[in-house]
Chain A
Amino acid sequence: MQLARRPRPQALISLVPMIDVMLILLVFFMVTSSYLNLDMIPALRPTDDAVNSDSSAQQRLMIRLDATGTPHLRAQALSSETLDQLLRRSLALDPQTQLMILPSGAAPTQALISLMDRAASAGVKNMRVLQLEARP
């Protein structure tokens, strides 16, 4: 006699808890992550000491940033074009020209970054930012 086999019931795994967990993870990453595209400009580098050691032989250019963020050379305000020309002329004379920036404490950070940015675009490789400190 041949017995009829009962068909096995299909194993059923509920996917609903997995979807719940995935949705929670998704919301978590969407809320907690920041999506700003950030870059960086080095302010101090391990090689800075080496660069400074032979700085005596370099031509120096001192640019002052006033409280409004306008760059000045020898008390004369510089427009963006004048600044570019000045930097390129100095670099043509001496590719190792050192740019020294003396910013006012009231100047906005953006002004300093923009000046450093413009100098880097012109090809300046050696920059120093100076600070004047009150004598105690």
Chain B
Amino acid sequence: MKLKQNRRTAPTETIIALIDVVFFLLVFFMLIGRMDATAPFEVTPPQAQTGRDMPTGGITLAISQNGGLALDGDALPKSEISAALAEALTKDPALRLRINAHRDADLRHVLPHVSLAEALGFVDVVLVVTPEASAGVGK
């Protein structure tokens, strides 16, 4: 006796749910993340309780623990940083400069750049910090 074979039916699983989840994750990561240029070295910002929300825009000067410099993600020697900042300022006189210094960097690597920015004519210079409840003096 020849049995009649059932015709295979197409799988009925819907991929709409998968698309929904992927869309949700995509929007989540787009909203939560910041697309800042990252420095070519590790920078752990200092902690502060009284920091304000980081405004958008501007350029970021990253300073490593050993005093290495990077402007908007590009490593630069110290001798070129002044010219690079001046050039950026000519394009936008109200440009904000964010100084993202490693928390263990000596101040002799950090403060001269604040002075340099002031001398070049920057009027808005901010230090990048991370919020932390247990930051203390004298560590």
Contact = CB atoms under 8 A, between A and B. Distances in A.
Please report whether the interface of chain A is mostly helix, strand, loop or mixed according to DSSP: mixed
Given A35-B33, A113-B46, A114-B46, A41 B51 contact: yes
Most chain A beta-carbon neighbours within 10 Å: one of B38, B106, B135: B106
Contact of A41 (B15, B35, B48): B48
B88 interface: no
Best-buried of A23, A39, A111 by chain B (most CB within 10 Å): A39
Q: Give the size category of B's interface with A.
A: 35 or more
B135 A29 contact: no
Interface in A1-50: 15, 18-19, 22-23, 25-26, 29-30, 32-46
B8 interface: no
Contacts of B2: none
Contacts of B33: 29-30, 32-35
Contact of A114 (B25, B35, B55, B138): B138
Contact of A83 (B105, B124, B137): B137
B81 interface: no
Contacts of B103: 108-110, 113
Given A39-B48, A43-B125, A110-B103, A22 B98 contact: no
Interface string B100-139: 0111111110111011011000111111111100011111
Given A104-B107, A110-B103, A38 B129 contact: yes
B26 interface: yes
Contacts of A94: none
Interface of A: 15, 18-19, 22-23, 25-26, 29-30, 32-46, 65, 68-71, 79-80, 83, 103-118, 120-121, 129, 131
Given A19-B19, A108-B107, A129-B111, 10 more contacts: A29-B30, A39-B131, A41-B127, A42-B127, A46-B123, A83-B137, A106-B107, A110-B139, A111-B137, A113-B129
